[in-house]
Structure 1
Amino acid sequence: MSDNQSSSSEAAIAELLAIMARLRDPDGGCPWDLKQTFDTVVPYTVEEAFEVAEAVARRDYPELREELGDLLLQVVFHSQMAREQGLFDFAEVVAVLNEKMVRRHPHVFGDEGAADAEAVKVNWEVIKAGERARKGREHDSALDGVPEGLPALQRAHKLQKKASKVGFDWRQPAPVRDQVGLELAELDRALEEGDRDAIEDELGDVFFTLVNLARHLKLDPDLALRRASDKFERRFRRVERLADAPLSDYDEAGLDALWRQAKKTP
């Protein structure tokens, strides 16, 4: 990065921090921004992260640029609230990140070697375990480090990957596929009994096992579901265009005919 680019970036960040501080200023700031807390901002932080992911999935790079800015705003917002409470500020957030990135990449910034990406991942986990120990967070379980706040599909996937690293896993996809059938059979029994708690429990097991199957097939379950949702949306919109009356006026056979017609278009 040239000196001019560095100066421009520093000026832009300084301006962003000043804007956020002004929005949070009790003397003439924005009433909405002043009302916010860490807890109330978190849902927006999560939402912005998903919007970044959506822009990447669509390869919409102008949109990605904007969404990354919105995500950065979330970091600045949290940092400003923390500064007001004397906890930390944006500069400290960046400093901690810089130190962490250097510490976790000894093969780049130190003398250690890493032959490939897999070796980097192994070293990364060892370093993270050491960090937990220094913070007084001993390694109690192989599943440590999976946030409860992750979206359900991602959390299931990460839990399974953690368990797999210590050998708690099927070796091939076939038995996982068999387990899907067993879980569906248990769901059927719960449906026959009509126990809603049992139905929810068994349906959760079906989802969890499908995530496991995706993992064994080396597929991203979240991406697979996104593609299925996109496909459904395209086809449903075709159904709406094909219909010559409100969809609510069609019976089941009529809707099925429209759906089959919509599916003929790629």
Structure 2
Amino acid sequence: MPTNADAPTSTTPLTTAEALDKLSGVIDSLLGDNGCPWDKEQTPWTLTDYILEESFELVEAIRNDAPAHSTAETTNEVMEELGDVAFLLVFVAELYRRAGHFSLADSFDYSATKMIRRHPHVFEDLHLGSKDELLSNWERIKRREKNGEGEAPKRVFDSLPKGLPPMLKAYRVNSKAARTGFTWESDEDQKAHLDSEWQEWLEAEASGDKERMQEEFGDYLFSLIEYGRRHGLKANMALEDANVKFLNRFCAIEDAARDGGRDIADLSLDEMNTLWERVKAKK
């Protein structure tokens, strides 16, 4: 029997439901009797690394499509990467359905129901006076809905994914703590704490004790991430922007060195700094 995957491509834009049906048809064909041997060997566990990889590619595409330099090409890249992630998610859901556990519809319905429950200020008559109240209420609802009959209340950080990269995890830890009210009363208080952590780092550095230095350096980074969060900045994104800026500028000084008939490895530090300042002045 032909599937949606076998149908000719139409120039008429598909609805979301039609496109999802088409994608499901493709996966049915891949997993069918005459399907792809590689795809038929996959399990949800073997696909996890691909989900991570494609998710990173999607994040990179979205960041490349930031409003300041968005183009038709960068937006199209987001569309493509979003589809790649969606393919893997639908693929995983189909594998679970075939194993008799749940369907994609079950997952979507569960998510919709959960979002309705967590937004009583939208779907019910609850009035919240501020964003802080909204976030605190969100955390209370999350902890309450995770409790089974007769179970002890869930802890605040039970929902924190263990596999988060450290910088992103530090941001989420600070954010969740703040939603419970466990944070500094003012930005000035938090800034004073950050300054205190810097002094502790300087003392550790002076001691030469590597273990102590690592601990205090970590404490300072943790506090610095909270400093950024309180100013509406995500450390992970800010650092990635800095990485990209540095790499672009370094490529530019490499090009400048080559234009002068030299390799960057042959330049002195003063020469590299001179080129670096020229590149900075152009940006």
TM-fit CA distance, 1:49? 2.9
How many angstroms does 1:201 deviate by?
Answer: 4.3
The alignment status of 1:35 with 2:49, answered yes or no, reads no
Paired amino acid for 2:243: S
Deviations 1:77-99 (A, max 9, x none): 21022123222121211121122
Partner of 1:56: 62
Question: Which residue of 239, 259, 266 corresponds with 2:276?
Answer: 259
Q: Distance in 1 between matches of 2:132 and 2:224?
A: 25
Q: 1:15 to 1:113 in 2, by over 3 A?
A: same
SS in structure 2 at match of 1:38: coil
Task: Give me the whole-angstrom Cα distance separating, in 1, the residues matched to 2:112 and 2:90.
Answer: 16
TM score, norm. by length of structure 1 = 0.82
Q: What residue number does 2:160 align with?
A: 146
The answer to whether the aligner puts 1:9 opposite 2:16 as a matched pair is yes
AA aligned opposite 1:30? C
How far apart, in 2, do the equivalents of 1:152 and 1:35 lie? 33
Q: Which amino acid aligns with 1:204?
A: G
Residue 232 of structure 1: CA displacement?
0.5
Distance 1:61 1:138 in 2: 46
Question: 2:246 matched to 1:232?
Answer: yes
Aligned pairs for 1:90-239 within 5 A:
90-115=104-129, 117-134=131-148, 138-170=152-184, 171=186, 172=188, 173-185=190-202, 188-189=205-206, 192-193=208-209, 195=210, 200-239=214-253
Following the alignment from structure 1 to structure 2, what is the Cα–Cα distance between the partners of residues 116 and 181? 33
Q: In the TM superposition, what whole-angstrom CA distance separates every residue of 1:180-237 from its partner, at most 9, and x where no partner exists?
A: 41353255257x34x4x66554443343232122123332212211221121122112
Deviation sequence 1:145-178 (CA, Å, 0-9, x none): 2211222222101111222334433332421331
Query: What root-mean-square deviation, in Å, do the aligned CA atoms of Structure 1 and Structure 2 show?
Result: 2.9
Equivalenced residue count is: 258
> Residue 137 and residue 256 in structure 1: after superposition, are their counterparts in 2 closer, same or farther (change >3 A)?
farther
Name the CA shift for 1:182/1:35 in 2 (closer, same or farther; >3 Å).
Answer: farther
Deviation of residue 144 (structure 1)? 3.0
Of residues 12-21 and 246-255 in structure 1, the stretch that sits farther from structure 2 once superposed is 246-255
Give the residue type in structure 1 aligned to 2:272: L
Structure 1 gap segments, 5+ residues each: none
Describe the SS at the equivalent of 1:40.
coil
Structure 1's consecutive aligned runs of 4 or more residues displaced over 6 angstroms after TM superposition are none
- TM-superposed CA distance for 1:119, in Å, is 4.0
Does the 8 Å CA contact 1:157/1:212 hold for their aligned counterparts?
yes
Alpha carbons 1:235, 1:263 under 8 Å: kept = yes
1:246 Cα offset (Å): 2.0
**TM-score, normalization by structure 2:** 0.78
Q: State the identity as a percent.
A: 32
Q: 1:206 to 1:140 in 2, by over 3 A?
A: same
Q: CA deviation at 1:6?
A: 11
| Cα distance in 2, alignment partners of residues 11 and 131 from structure 1 | 33
Which sits farther off after the overlay, 46-55 or 206-215?
46-55
Q: Deviations over 1:116-164 (max 9, x none)?
A: 5444333322221221113776434333322112222221011112223
Q: Distance in 1 between matches of 2:151 and 2:54?
A: 30
Paired residues of 2:93 and 2:103 also in contact (CA < 8 A): yes
2:97–2:103 CA contact under 8 A, matched in 1: yes
Deviations 1:4-37, CA, capped at 9 Å, x for gaps: x998322221111121122233x33223323333
Q: 1:142 to 1:53 in 2, by over 3 A?
A: same
**Which residue type is aligned with residue 108 of structure 1?**
V
Asked if 1 retains the 8 angstrom alpha-carbon contact of 2:144 and 2:154, the reply is no
Q: Give the Cα–Cα distance (whole angstroms) in 1 for the partners of residues 88 and 212 of structure 2.
A: 39
2:100 aligned partner, one-letter code: G
State the alpha-carbon separation in 2 of the partners of residues 40 and 189 from structure 1. Answer: 48
Distance verdict in 2 for CA 1:106–1:152, change over 3 Å = same
